[in-house]
Structure 1
Amino acid sequence: MGCYARYEEGVSNFFAKYGVFVSKYPWPILIFAILTNILLGIGLMQLKSEGSTEVLYTPMNSQASKDRGKARQLFTLDYKENFDALSQIEISQPVDVMFRTKSEENILQKKYFDEIKAIDAFIRQSISVQSNVTFDDVCARFQGFCVVSGESVIADSFLDALNRDEVTFPVYVMNDISLHLGDARSRNGTLKSTRLVRLQYNLLIKNDTSALWEREFIDQMTDYQSSLLDIAISTSQSLDIELDSNVSGDILWISLTFTIMLTYASLATTGNRINCIADRSNLGRAGVLATVLAILGSFGLTSATGLKYVALVGVMPFLIVGIGLDDVFILLSGLADAPLVRPDGSETDIKDRISFAMATSGVSISITSLTDFLAFGIGSSSSFVAIRNFSIYTGVAVLICYLNQLTIFVPCMVINERRAASSRHAFTCMKTKSREELKNEGKSSVSQVCCAGSPAKSSAEFDNFSQKYPTKFCQFLVGNVVGKIFIAAVFVVYLCFSIYGSINLQEGLELKNLVSDNSYLYKFNLWDNLYFDRRTPVAFFYDTPIEYHLQENRNEIISFMRKIRADPLISSTIERNWLQAFSDSPQFNSSTEAAFVEGLTHFLRFRPDLANDIAFDASKTAIIASRFHFMSTPMFSTTEEGHFMQTMRKLTSSSKFSVFAYNPYFIFYEQYVEVFPATMQTLGIAVGVMLVVTTIFMPNIFLVAMVTVTLIIILLGIVGFMYYWDLTLSSITMVDLIMTVGFSVDFSAHICHAYMSVTGKTRGEKVHHALSRSGGPIFNSALSSILGIIVLIFSKSYIFLSFFKMMLIVMLFGLFHALWVLPLFLSLIGPMVTGEVGHERDRQLENDVEKLKTNTKEDLPLKETGEGINDVNDKRKMTSSGDTTSEGNVITIKL
């Protein structure tokens, strides 16, 4: 016996012994497992959630977060007295309101300005919380006035200047008005028209009252109606609120999913004819129950550890249902293959059948569960909190689901077989009789259909349309030359599309696109993208003390500023440079550092807008840090924003002094540059781990290579077709890619393991038998997973929709490779090593089969029940297919 055969037999014997053990004590094992899952579920009482988009979808310990920490130590912003939008260290989105005329004409007209002013007054005065807290009580202020960015463009003086053709664009009276006028048109630098006006109401941050005012603003402004204007709004809380509400609403689909899965599992496990005793549909429902309990137990166990629930975890139940039913169909396939009679005609007992099922299927479900568990284990090391928490929650669920199959579903298999052996009805558990007996007793046709049955006489009775016909089609396609050419042609087309899509796939997650298209925030984001340039301010921080009075130091700073202006990503029209402004003022004095600081202090009294750009020491006699502000040119994608951040950081390396580039939104830009290397690293590790796992369970170099190459090709296809389905490589789709690693290995491992386990004189014969063994379970597993997620096509959540798209892709591609591509290659170049038995056992098997074929019905012992002739005829039908294996002294004859 070869090395592989000895290894395979050793692992199979372990599961066979476990099958014997469960056959002896099914009820104690089942009750203990169910109680354990329920006790674990109690941990749900400790469930806590995390909904911050910054925390969830930006990498931990990124360079931007470190730069923010340094900026916090150097500068503080007084939101109550000296607020300045450019000087913010924290991400602080204002309450944002856009106005557009209903006719979409030029909004720079008095009637529209009057309407905007009326709405502005409503926001300031009528929206209140805690009885009398209005915007004036929660606004950020500058020199005593609430800061509303853009209010200058709705002033009467602005409209008068516009009528005189005196409004310059994009900068007017030292203000960049392009930030507040959407789709503006100018001629010779003079503003002529615009379609939108934008006002931004700045609030105090980290203030509970201002947060309440924001929510009240959302409630009132989403219902506000204007006769002249369309309005779009956004607040700092909008994305978090909308994301949570979308996902929470979509959780309702889970109940429908479980209903679909229960129905399908019941139908897929029903035999090819009505037999109320041999019926195994209860096992399909038991498999779903084991999966549901796994979800409950995993949620409870993980919550009890203090790990926070994140929105992404909402898709976990859909995923686990598919994984759980995959295991169920594999185990049921093994049970269906279990011999019902021995060569001498006597019945095999339940212990032998369960032992056989575990010996043939235990390795398969272990491979799939282990690969899925390790895939999510790798994902748990991600720098993205959303991915890490999702991977931990789902990895624990996969592990508990696997254990539940062994401790809940397998005992249910034993109990069901005991019921069938005692001729009890599948639903009532009452003793019943065969159809012939009920007919002889004069029972009605309805009674004969609903109540009659008998123990199964052959494995053919368990064949189901969902397994039989897809398998036969694949066998036909792979088994002839035309079919092979067709598969090869489809595969080449698949590769071409996959490569093109992968090359053109965009990176980065547009967090604002996470909302549904019927959300008020979707409208705001749409207008923002259509009518306003996508520009980013950036500040360059000198974070160490510098003697600014020295000419050489100022020259160094001026030279560095010149390099920044020269960069093509920096706008030439907008810059805030306190040093240049001070140098041009009459207060400038560079005789000594003390004189420089004294003159600067006096200068800032006239330019308080620049006071936030200089940090003095405690004695106000030395400058410990300063910053300079620039604006980017328009950008059109997240990739460009990530590139802008990296370019600004590279510029700092040319400075003689310590300097770093920072903008609060660099925190989000980090994902645009980190998601690709993080994904490639994670996928690379995952592929390596899957390689090791496959080697352990299938120690055949050729098949390990086949599984690995198939995994890589499937991943290539998934990444490529993301492009065609308008998905980007992001922290959310990265989760889906990690998930697909396990599924991709599952499909290919099943068919390769089956190929090594069956016997056959030619490669084509082995492939035919491998498809007979695993084709049905693979098809059922994929179909059940697709049915489980199909309801998500109606989802409002980007997270659920992207999950649906990715799962559908991986299921279809997994089926394509497992049932078409891999069988094609195995039929051409597959190894001819026999995995399940050695040569001696093969020869013994052939002798046993030949004996069965030549025996007459007088030679075989007949049962006294009168069913012996049917038994013999069944054996003869079974042996005619020629697909046989042996297990000790038991012959398994597969259709």
Structure 2
Amino acid sequence: MVACLPGYAYLRINLDLYKLFVPLDAPVRTEFERQKEFNTIGIGNLDVVPPPRKTRSLFENSTDLSLDDYHGDRFKRDIPRHNDILRFYVVHKDYLNLLDSEILGKLWDYTNEMMSVTSEFNGKTYGLDNFCKKEGANVNCTNHLNVWLKHAENLFKSDGSRTNPNLQLSYPVMYLFNRPKDIGNIIYGVDVAGKKHEITGARVLTLHWFVNFPLENDNLKAFYAFREACNRFWESKTEESGINFIPHNDKAMDDELRLIIEGAIPFAIPATLQLMLFVYFTNLAKDIRKSKPVEAYFGVVTVVCGLVVSFGICFFIGIPFNPVCSTMPFLILAVGVDDAFLMLGAWRMTDPAKSVEERMGETMGDAGASITVTSLTNFGCFALGYFLSPTPAVADFCTMTAIGMIFDYIYQITFFAALMVYGGRRESEGGLAVYFQWCKCCCKKDKVTDVVPAEQEQPDYHEPTFMHRMFRDYWAPFILRAEVKAVSAVLFGIYLCISYYGCINMRVNISPHKYIRDTSPIQTFVYLADKYIWADNVMPTFHVMNPPDFRNETLRVKFNDMVFRLENTEYSIGRVATNFWLWEYQSFLNDYPEVQYKEDFYKRKYLKNFFNQFDYQQYRGMVKIKDTVPDGDNCISAFTFQTSFYALNSWDKRQAELFHWRRIIGEYPEFDVFLAGIFSPFLIDQRRTIAPSSMQSIGSAIVVMAIISTFFLPDKLSVFIMSFSLISISMGVCGFLTHLGSDLDSVSMGCIVMAIGLAVDFSIHICYRYHCSLEETADGKVIDTLAIVGYPVLQAGSSTLWAMTTLPWIPAYLVRVFVQTVVLVNVFGMLHALLWLPQFISALDPIQRTPRREVHRD
């Protein structure tokens, strides 16, 4: 274990939603990578015309850098920079209209006050000037991004300005002197009227400042401190004005995922202590030879040791830790303690007259084989989950859990088995308890002074505890009564109907709110985004990587046809909402009567004059210019354009529309177009793959479990019954998750795969013990089986439920679904193992079946 501790130095936490939840084969992965490729293309320099057919030197005609920049200032420019946005969404507490002159004026004053907010970090004072993106040669921040508030205040003071013929206040693009201005990214929840979509009201406004600063020293930590100061400032304004200011930035989701991990992992400590208390007190007995509290206590310690080793190895080989993985320690604790219960139960059933070595051999022959098959099936289930899971977060969780299962198994059959041997050697004195002072009083109380001869102990060594006798003498005969079987069959039918109804009504629902805490302030943003931001004005950016020569009329018409089709889908706003530099440039060229379209379209002087116009500066970053192309030739290497869509007020509509956009641009491969910059596209790509991949994962997991079990359950009937029980438990978990409010998503899919692995434990223990029973009748085999493994199964299920009692305090969907799954699989698992499975297997089993042990003896 100590050798694995250095692995913790390689701990890497993955909080990137894109890397965690984007399916590996999702189109958005390609789109994201191509967007990065587009961003690396140089914007070009329109100030200098390169000579024809001449390659420039490294420093010639550089757009931004001089020779000095490559020498004295080189290292300064090579420092990575942090880009972010300080963004605050504004919404009235009653979601009323915000386009009121009084409110707008108040907001403008607040933004100016925000410019003076400061924070203290490491004895230094930081303000917005330390972090904001400067404009041009300015050394201080400006409030230009929010100046529209002042203009809007004047605009909505009276209706007179609204009738100005030079102003068309339409949405999402307004026109000032026929010049388009995109306002779709600053106001949402807009009410419009008339054919021109003129704005009459809005429910969500945006205040923002761009952030860009070098990542050196403690700048990033200082920025986080400043961001918190800004949040406090806007909280005070919320109390003052009755208007809610909701902070949001590009790293907000990362922060939320980190908080989920920080909230979940500490609960592993009380869960471990709870388990230690549980196993200690549930393994006490009046007979000191049967009491194994300290052995059970070390069963939990054994699991913890396996966890420590598992994490060290996982981190060393590069598996990142993510919020889904934060539930893995609780799962390993539950499964590991189950194995300890079975081994202790098997030990109690051995003959105390035999040597410790012989008793351990019988214990490992019974419980060892049982926990081996469950460990292998669990490992196989989670290993399969790694290969079949479409999302990396769930795949990493499955990998960590599979490794954890293996090391827990290794520690159980080595470390814990060795501890049991030490306890067995002093069993008559209290076992391992005699080695610890804190158990001294317990040992004195129960110590056996007069040891009964071995020949007198033999008759009752099959009756180690009251609970085992209770299962043998009361519970097993009770469930085998005809009237009890009839009632049980009816209950099982009702259970199947409810489960099936839940399964067929489980719907795919993937939303950002599932990846953040229930109490997070970002939940308000997600609500606003779902209701307004991702519904009213969706403006994807279409990247054209192989632009046509717009002097060619055929190509120009074909390209315009593609744009026209995008502008006229079911949810398109239309031409008024298209943000396309080409059409504005064509209109600009019309002001020059001397321009010959085919000869002058790509002339640098016209392009330069166009992009230098104040109204068209917004397009400069959208167009990538080739510096090495002779003047007048096609010098555009790539560009982007946008068009807007509305009424996408559900994820089903967004999914359908996204796939429709992709189909349209896919019909024009010669332009090499892809889209990016839309509402959480990874969520939509998951929606398409989650249902089929879930069915594939569940089906494959059940098949693999059945195949593995055949190596340990040679009897075909036992394999069939185990598989049937596994399907029944899995269906119950899926169905009741739906009734509890869970949906089919990447989180629940991982939990369902986990449920299959856990369900195997309950089925295998009963089927394996029943198969090995020496009794001659089916009912006798059931009684013998429950007498031996009934209490360990009850202990295992109860201990797991007890360990889960602290987790509901974590207000996060990720943890909540995990808890629901573990509770359901344990409740249904115990019902199957202690009630329905024994009844079912005894009803199907032929009388006088030859036990496997008898065959081996022959």
Q: TM-score, normalised by structure 2?
A: 0.81
Q: Which residue of 2 aligns with 1:536?
A: 538
Find the aligned partners of 1:446 and 1:374 in 2 and give their Cα distance.
42
- Asked if structure 2 preserves the Cα contact closer than 8 Å seen for 1:75 and 1:615, the reply is no
Query: CA separation in 2, counterparts of 1:464 and 1:451?
Result: 19
Find the counterpart in structure 2 of residue 14 from structure 1: none
Partner in structure 2 of residue 857 of structure 1? none
The partner residue of 1:384 within 375, 391, 401 is 391
Of the candidates 556, 559, 564, which is equivalent to residue 557 of structure 1? Answer: 559
Tell me, yes or no, if structure 1 residue 836 matches structure 2 residue 852.
yes
Q: Deviations over 1:759-815 (max 9, x none)?
A: 344433333333333322222211111111221011134332222122112222222
Specify the alignment match of 2:236 in structure 1: 225
Q: Where in structure 2 are the equivalents of 1:804-819 lying within 5 Å?
A: 804-819=819-834
2-side partners of 1:261 and 1:81: how far apart?
A: 68
1:428 Cα offset (Å): 3.7
- Distance in 2 between the 1:824 and 1:154 partners? 77
Q: Determine helix, strand or coil for the equivalent of 1:125.
A: coil
Q: How does 1:28-107 map to 2 (within 5 A)?
A: 37-60=1-24, 62-75=26-39, 94-102=85-93, 105-107=96-98
Q: Give the CA deviation at 1:221.
A: 1.1
Partner of 1:152: 148
**SS class of match (1:548):** coil
1:262 is displaced (CA, Å) by 0.7
Give the distance between the partners of 1:65 and 1:726, measured in 2 at CA.
30
Once residues 650 and 129 of structure 2 are traced to their aligned partners in structure 1, the CA distance between those partners, rounded to angstroms, is 34
Match of 1:362 in 2: 368
1:455 Cα offset (Å) = 5.9
Q: Which amino acid aligns with 2:562?
A: F
1:252 maps to 266
Decide which of 675, 694, 698 is 2:690's aligned counterpart: 675
Which residue of structure 2 aligns with residue 8 of structure 1? none
Amino acid at match of 2:133: C
Residue number among 345, 348, 364 corresponding to 1:333 in the alignment: 345
State the partner residue of 1:751: 766
**In 1, are the aligned partners of 2:471 and 2:786 still within 8 Å (CA)?**
no
Whether the aligned pair in 2 keeps the contact of 1:124 and 1:136 (CA below 8 Å) is no
CA shift, 1:293, in A, is: 0.9
- Alignment of structure 1 residues 51-450 onto 2, 5 Å: 51-60=15-24, 62-75=26-39, 94-102=85-93, 105-127=96-118, 131-134=125-128, 137-139=131-133, 151-153=147-149, 155=151, 156-160=153-157, 167-169=169-171, 171-173=173-175, 174-175=180-181, 177=183, 179-188=185-194, 189-204=197-212, 209=219, 212-213=222-223, 215-222=225-232, 224-226=235-237, 227-228=240-241, 229-271=243-285, 274-340=286-352, 347-381=353-387, 382=389, 384-421=391-428, 423=429, 427-428=433-434, 449=445
| CA-to-aligned-CA distance 1:278-333 (integer Å, 9 cap, x gap) | 42112111211111111111122222334333233322221111111111111122
Residue 641 of structure 2 aligns to a residue in which SS?
A: strand
What is the CA–CA distance in structure 2 between the aligned matches of 1:329 and 1:673, rounded to whole Å?
43
Is 1:685 the counterpart of 2:700? The answer is: yes
Q: 1:152 to 1:582 in 2, by over 3 A?
A: same
CA–CA distance in structure 2, aligned partners of residues 430 and 787 of structure 1: 26
Where do 5+ consecutive residues of structure 1 fail to align? 1-36, 83-89, 341-346, 432-444, 843-895
Contact 2:99 2:201 in 1 (8 A): yes
Q: Which amino acid aligns with 1:284?
A: A
Q: CA deviation at 1:338?
A: 1.5
Greater shift, 802-811 or 663-672, is seen at: 663-672
Contact 2:292–2:431 under 8 Å retained in 1: no
Instruction: Verify the 8 A CA contact 1:376 1:394 in the aligned structure 2.
Output: yes
| Matched residue SS, 1:546 | coil
Aligned AA for 1:725?
A: L
Q: Which moved more, 1:181-190 or 1:62-71?
A: 181-190
TM-score (norm. length: structure 1): 0.78
- The corresponding residue for 2:522 is 521
Which string of whole-angstrom CA distances, capped at 9 and with x for unpartnered residues, describes residues 327-350 of structure 1? Answer: 11111221122234xxxxxx3332
Matched, 1:574 2:585: no
CA shift, 1:277, in A, is: 4.6
- Structure 1 residue 667 displacement after superposition: 4.4
Structure 1 Cα separation of the partners of residues 472 and 573 of structure 2: 63
Q: Equivalent pairs: percent with the same residue? A: 19
CA distance in 1 between partners of 2:43 and 2:598 (Å): 33
Inter-CA distance 214–644: structure 2 relative to 1 (3 Å threshold): farther
1:630 aligns with 2:643: yes
Contact 1:652 1:660 survives alignment (8 Å): yes
494-503 or 447-456, larger mean C-alpha shift: 447-456
Deviates more, 1:121-130 or 1:539-548: 121-130
**1:343 match:** none
Amino acid at match of 1:66: T
Give the Cα separation in 2 of the matches to 1:656 and 1:55: 28
* Contact 2:332–2:405 under 8 Å retained in 1: yes
* 1:482 and 2:483 aligned: yes
Question: Which string of whole-angstrom CA distances, capped at 9 and with x for unpartnered residues, describes residues 82-112 of structure 1?
Answer: 9xxxxxxx99873321233456554344443
- Work out the number of aligned pairs and report it: 776
Distance in 2 (CA, whole Å) between partners of 1:593 and 1:813 is 78
Higher mean C-alpha deviation, range 282-291 or range 732-741: 732-741
Instruction: Indicate how the Cα distance of structure 1 residues 785 and 191 shifts in structure 2: closer, same or farther if over 3 A, else same.
Output: same
Answer with 143-152 or 761-770: which moved more: 143-152
Deviation at 1:509, TM superposition (A): 3.9
CA deviation after TM superposition for structure 1 residue 480, in Å:
2.6
- Name the CA shift for 1:72/1:795 in 2 (closer, same or farther; >3 Å): closer
The answer on whether the counterparts of 2:295 and 2:432 sit within 8 Å (CA) in structure 1 is no
The answer on whether the counterparts of 2:43 and 2:625 sit within 8 Å (CA) in structure 1 is no
- CA deviation string 1:29-72 (max 9, x = no partner): xxxxxxxx233234324433232232222234643222233333
**Contact 2:422–2:431 (Cα < 8 Å) also in 1:** no
Closer/same/farther in 2, CA of residues 352 and 488 from structure 1, 3 Å limit = same
- Change in CA separation of 1:517 and 1:453 when aligned onto 2, cut-off 3 Å: farther
Runs of 5+ consecutive residues of structure 2 not aligned to the other structure:
47-80, 164-168
Does the 8 Å CA contact 1:276/1:454 hold for their aligned counterparts? no
Please name the residue that 2:64 is paired with.
none
Cα 1:276–1:468 change in 2 (3 A) is closer
Please name the residue that 1:886 is paired with.
none
TM-superposed CA distance for 1:406, in Å, is 0.9
Asked if 1:617 corresponds to 2:629, the answer is no
What whole-Å deviation, never above 9, does each CA across 1:343-398 have from its counterpart, x for those lacking one? xxxx3332332221111111110011111112222233345332233223222221
| Matched residue, 2:61 | none
Contact conserved, 1:95 with 1:202, CA < 8 A, in 2?
yes
Q: Deviations over 1:226-260 (max 9, x none)?
A: 21133221112222122212321332211111111
Q: Secondary structure at the match of 1:571?
A: coil
C-alpha RMSD over aligned residues = 3.7
Taking the aligned partners of 1:79 and 1:73, their CA distance within structure 2 comes to: 13
Letter in 2 for 1:308: P
- Residues 700-721 of structure 1 deviation map (CA, whole Å, 9 limit, x = unaligned): 3333233333333333332333
AA matched with 2:645: S
Deviation at 1:487, TM superposition (A): 2.8
8 Å CA contact retained: 2:264, 2:327? no
Deviation at 1:177, TM superposition (A): 4.6
d(CA) in 2 for partners of 1:80 and 1:94? 26
CA distance in 1, matches of 2:810, 2:436: 44
Contact 1:517/1:523, CA 8 A, preserved across alignment: no
User: 1:593 and 1:494, CA in 2 relative to 1: closer, same or farther beyond 3 A?
Assistant: farther
8 Å contact 1:649–1:660 — kept in the other structure?
no
Q: Shift in Å at residue 666 of structure 1?
A: 2.9
Cα pair 1:333 1:777 within 8 Å, conserved:
yes
AA aligned to 1:98 is: Y
1:771 maps to 786
Change (3 A) 1:411 1:798: same
